[in-house]
């Protein structure tokens, strides 16, 4: 899977792609990530990529020209059979786990356009993007965080990226009928020594539920089924 990201701030994205799952995926050839600064594609001598909207309005919006030129550069540079161009914006369709799975299974090249400021020239959505995605009903400064969310969610679904493939089958949202269950590790009993950090009604000893300590696989499975977060 190849990702190309058009952004004004590649330096905010790069550190995350060089750690954890994304870094491992890159190192082992499962994912290829390229970051492109929109200012590299503007014809303005000052590197300007935004302007006031026609008809008036608050703030500045990203111009179509640098986005178009950036997209043209990416498409000319990398030939793909199944490419998806995605604009990241607050008004888009909600990004979900099933959509992440669909991307992983059906596309080999994902181009992510990061919105900024007060928006993007609507011709990008009308004529260039295959779809517009949102990661939630709230406003962010730009599309950089959503771009990372999409890359992380899709990449970890690529076979071979995760060390333990069975962990995917047990994760929340992987199947619509399956929820996440509480999980615990050592110690089996924990006694907090700082009262002001804990809830007033908390017990003095926090213990792991007995079925999980029993060694009885059926009891463990039943407890997990009963205690799924729904």
CATH of residue 26's domain is 3.40.1280.10
d(CA 34, CA 15): 13
- Determine the pLDDT at residue 165: 66
- Determine the pLDDT at residue 167: 61
Would 167 be classed as within a structural domain? Answer: no
Would 175 be classed as within a structural domain? Answer: no
Which pair of structure tokens corresponds to residue 177?
Answer: 């009928």
Would 198 be classed as within a structural domain? Answer: yes
pLDDT tens figures, 122-160? 999 999 999 999 999 998 999 999 999 999 999 999 999
Task: Render 115-157 in DSSP notation, one character per residue.
Answer: -BTT-B-HHIIIII-SEEEESSSS--SBSHHHHHHHHHHHHTT
pLDDT tens figures, 62-108? 999 999 999 999 999 999 999 999 999 988 999 999 999 999 999 99
Scored b (16 or more CB within 10 A) or e, 135-144 reads beeeebebbb
Same domain, 124 and 193: no
**3-state secondary structure (DSSP) of residue 92:** strand
Same domain, 199 and 145: no
- Determine the pLDDT at residue 180: 82
Same domain, 139 and 198: no
Full residue range of the structural domain in which residue 37 is found: 2-155
Q: Which residue has the higher pLDDT, 117 or 201?
A: 201
| Residues 112/3, Cβ–Cβ less than 8 Å | yes
């Amino acid at each position: 899977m190849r990702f190309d990201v058009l952004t004004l701030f590649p330096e905010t994205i790069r550190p995350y792609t060089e750690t954890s799952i994304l870094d491992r995926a890159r190192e082992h050839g499962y994912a290829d990530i390229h970051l492109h600064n929109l200012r590299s594609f503007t014809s303005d001598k000052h590197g300007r990529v935004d302007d006031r909207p026609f008809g008036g309005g608050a703030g500045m919006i990203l111009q179509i020209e640098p986005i178009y030129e950036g997209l043209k550069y990416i498409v000319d540079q990398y030939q793909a059979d199944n490419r998806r161009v995605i604009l990241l914006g607050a008004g888009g369709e909600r990004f979900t786990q099933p959509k992440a799975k669909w991307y992983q299974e059906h596309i080999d090249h994902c181009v992510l356009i990061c919105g900024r400021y007060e928006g993007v020239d609507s011709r990008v959505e009308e004529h260039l993007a295959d779809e517009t995605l949102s990661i939630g009903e709230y406003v962010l400064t730009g599309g950089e965080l959503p771009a990372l969310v999409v890359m992380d969610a899709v990449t970890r679904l690529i076979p071979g990226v995760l060390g333990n493939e069975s962990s995917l089958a047990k994760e929340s949202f992987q199947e619509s009928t399956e929820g996440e269950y509480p999980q615990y590790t050592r110690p089996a009993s924990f006694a907090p020594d700082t009262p002001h950090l804990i809830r007033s009604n908390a017990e003095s000893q926090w213990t792991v539920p007995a079925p999980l300590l029993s060694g009885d696989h059926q009891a463990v499975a039943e407890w997990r089924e009963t205690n799924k977060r729904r």
